């Protein structure tokens, strides 16, 4: 069965508890356990525990104070410090007006960081300390400094810290003091087409949708590019069946492609389909790609998603998912919620068996994590 976790159990098994059914799925179909556990949590606790839209950074910021730093645990493909800079701009803390000190740690930057903390605590500035995992020896000094300025500093003074997570429990180096006092934020890249598509659209606003004179063409291609972006990013999870190598596609590729799209549509009377596909497939996204077969794959996706017929709404981005009609920004988000089929390899043009491998690995990780959280006594 493609979705065994939704099947009805036979005969006397119908009356078993949900947990007993989970045990059966665990024995027979370990690859489906992430879905089965998700359904279990939703049934027992409610759907808000399984939805993956993230909390706005400004809400987390409200809980910080001079004695409560914000600690970002970095994950690949996400730059949390953009959020800090964006909020700083709103509240009047920018690098240009000298109220924001951004220090990327590494060779010889420790002194710069210490000076920044001294100035900020006194004058009420913000300090961003990036990648503190690179300066293990200096961390005890940092810990003492942060503690010293947690009392009696200017009320606007804030510290933002970022570090990569340690690969194993033995190699943790971040001082306990910082970890205990800080608000810890990890912003993992979204998983699944639904979350990826919303996240791609979130990079734009209603104003973006209205900025082009060829509004219908622009919106149509913008949505298709968001879908394409979600596909190439999420294909990585299928391992070698997705891409031959893991490429660092990121949000910048999408935003710059939309700028290129805008310039090309404004400059031409007809939509230059071939030019657009070439620019996106060979330069913007293709620039990351080093393997010929992967490049061919990227071109094939664009040939499917970007073509003249899409303006009549005749292009299917996935089985049962058409290019949407002309909507506003909120309308597109609602269109995704209402019309996108449930997560499956079909959304990426892959065979359903493609996900067995990575789902099994994900399930094993899930259970290892659950075991690690067991009380040690």
Q: pLDDT at residue 52 above 70?
A: no
Phi, psi of 251 (to 5 degrees): -60, -30
Domain shared by 30 and 75, yes or no: no
Listed residues 164, 186, 208: the one ending a domain: 186
Q: What pLDDT was estimated at residue 117? A: 93
CATH of the domain at 279: 1.10.8.720
Q: pLDDT at residue 188 above 80?
A: no
Listed residues 186, 201, 236: the one ending a domain: 186
The mean pLDDT of 143-151, rounded to a whole number, is 92
Summarised one tens digit per residue, pLDDT across range 301-313 is: 999 999 888 888 7
Domain shared by 338 and 356, yes or no: no
Task: Count the neighbouring beta carbons within 10 Å of the beta carbon of residue 114.
Answer: 15
Q: What pLDDT was estimated at residue 184? A: 92
CA separation, residue 213 to residues 129, 192, 265 (Å): 43, 33, 8
Q: pLDDT at residue 334 above 70?
A: yes
Q: Are 206 and 253 in contact (CB under 8 A)?
A: no
DSSP 6: G
* pTM beyond 0.85: no
Domain shared by 62 and 182, yes or no: yes
Domain shared by 162 and 242, yes or no: no
Q: Chain-wide mean pLDDT for the chain?
A: 89
Q: How many domains does the chain have?
A: 3
Q: pLDDT at residue 374 above 70?
A: yes
Q: What pLDDT was estimated at residue 93? A: 93
Domain shared by 85 and 29, yes or no: no
CATH of the domain at 157: 3.40.50.300
Domain shared by 210 and 333, yes or no: yes
**The Cα angle at residue 288 between residues 282 and 291, in degrees rounded to 5:** 80
Domain shared by 158 and 225, yes or no: no
Q: What pLDDT was estimated at residue 157? A: 94
**C-alpha dihedral (244, 78, 331, 60), degrees to nearest 10:** 160
Q: Are 101 and 127 in contact (CB under 8 A)?
A: yes
> Cα-atom radius of gyration of the chain, to the nearest Å?
24
Expressed as residue numbers, the domain containing 236 is 193-343
Q: What pLDDT was estimated at residue 282? A: 92
**C-alpha dihedral (183, 188, 193, 198), degrees to nearest 10:** 40
Give residue 202's pLDDT band: very low, low, confident or very high (50, 70, 90).
confident
Domain shared by 109 and 232, yes or no: no
Across the strands, what pairs with 159? Answer: 127
What does 59-123 look like in DSSP terms, one character per residue? HHHHT-BTTB-EEEE--TT--THHHHHHHHHHHT--TTTT-EEEEE-STT-HHHHHHHHHHHHHH
CA separation, residue 65 to residues 69, 130, 176 (Å): 7, 19, 18
Q: Round to whole Å and give the CA distance between 140 and 362.
A: 36
CA dihedral over 237, 372, 34, 164, signed as positive or negative: negative
Q: pLDDT at residue 377 above 70?
A: yes
Task: Count the neighbouring beta carbons within 10 Å of the beta carbon of residue 140.
Answer: 11
Domain shared by 209 and 336, yes or no: yes
Summarised one tens digit per residue, pLDDT across range 82-129 is: 889 889 999 999 999 999 999 999 888 999 999 999 999 999 999 999
Q: Quick one: tokens of 353?
A: 């068996």
Q: What pLDDT was estimated at residue 108? A: 87
Strand runs labelled E in the chain? 70-73, 100-104, 126-130, 158-163, 183-186, 316-318, 321-322
The mean pLDDT of 221-242, rounded to a whole number, is 90
CA dihedral over 108, 109, 112, 118, signed as positive or negative: negative
Domain shared by 62 and 135, yes or no: yes
Residue-wise burial string across 188-212, b where 16 or more C-beta atoms lie within 10 A, e elsewhere: ebbebbbbbbbbbbeebeeebbeeb
Give residue 280's pLDDT band: very low, low, confident or very high (50, 70, 90).
very high
Q: Quick one: tokens of 293?
A: 């077969």
Q: Are 77 and 250 in contact (CB under 8 A)?
A: yes
Domain shared by 73 and 179, yes or no: yes
Q: What pLDDT was estimated at residue 357? A: 86
By C-alpha distance, which of 55, 53, 60 is closest to 190?
A: 53
Domain shared by 232 and 132, yes or no: no
The mean pLDDT of 39-45, rounded to a whole number, is 92
By C-alpha distance, which of 242, 157, 179, 189 is closest to 80?
A: 189
Q: pLDDT at residue 77 above 70?
A: no
Listed residues 151, 186, 221: the one ending a domain: 186
């Amino acid at each position: 069965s493609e979705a065994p976790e939704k099947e009805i159990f036979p005969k006397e098994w119908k009356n078993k508890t949900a947990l007993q059914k989970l045990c059966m799925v665990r024995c027979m179909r370990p690859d489906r356990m992430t879905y089965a556990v998700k359904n279990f949590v939703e049934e027992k606790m409610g759907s808000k525990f399984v939805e993956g839209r993230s909390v706005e950074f400004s809400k987390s910021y409200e809980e910080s104070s001079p004695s409560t730093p914000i600690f970002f645990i970095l994950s690949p493909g996400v730059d949390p410090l953009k959020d800090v800079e964006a909020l700083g701009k709103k509240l009047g803390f920018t690098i240009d007006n000298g109220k924001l000190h951004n220090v990327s740690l590494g060779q010889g930057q420790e002194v710069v960081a210490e000076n920044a903390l001294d100035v900020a605590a006194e004058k009420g500035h913000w300090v961003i300390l990036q990648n503190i995992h690179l300066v293990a020896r200096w961390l005890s000094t940092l810990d003492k400094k942060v503690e010293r300025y947690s009392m009696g500093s200017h009320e606007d003074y804030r510290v933002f810290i970022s570090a990569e997570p340690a690969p194993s429990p033995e190699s943790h180096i971040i001082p306990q003091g910082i970890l205990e006092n800080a608000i810890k934020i990890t912003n993992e890249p979204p998983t699944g087409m639904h979350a990826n598509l919303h996240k791609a659209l979130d990079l734009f606003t209603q104003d973006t949708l209205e900025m082009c004179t060829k509004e219908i063409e622009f919106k149509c291609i913008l949505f298709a590019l968001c879908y394409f972006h979600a596909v190439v990013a999420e294909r990585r999870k299928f391992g070698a069946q997705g891409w031959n190598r893991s490429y660092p596609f990121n949000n910048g590729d999408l935003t710059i492609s939309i700028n290129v799209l805008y310039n090309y549509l404004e400059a031409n009377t007809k939509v230059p389909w071939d030019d657009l596909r070439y620019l996106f497939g060979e330069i913007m996204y293709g620039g990351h790609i080093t393997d010929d077969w992967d490049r061919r794959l990227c071109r094939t996706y664009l040939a499917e998603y970007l073509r003249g017929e899409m303006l009549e709404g005749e292009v299917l981005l996935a089985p049962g998912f058409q290019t949407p009609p002309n909507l506003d920004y909120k309308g597109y988000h609602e269109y995704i919620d209402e019309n996108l089929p449930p997560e499956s390899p079909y959304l990426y043009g892959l065979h359903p068996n493609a996900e067995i491998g990575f789902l099994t690995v994900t399930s094993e990780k899930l259970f290892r994590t659950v075991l690690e959280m067991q009380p040690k006594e």
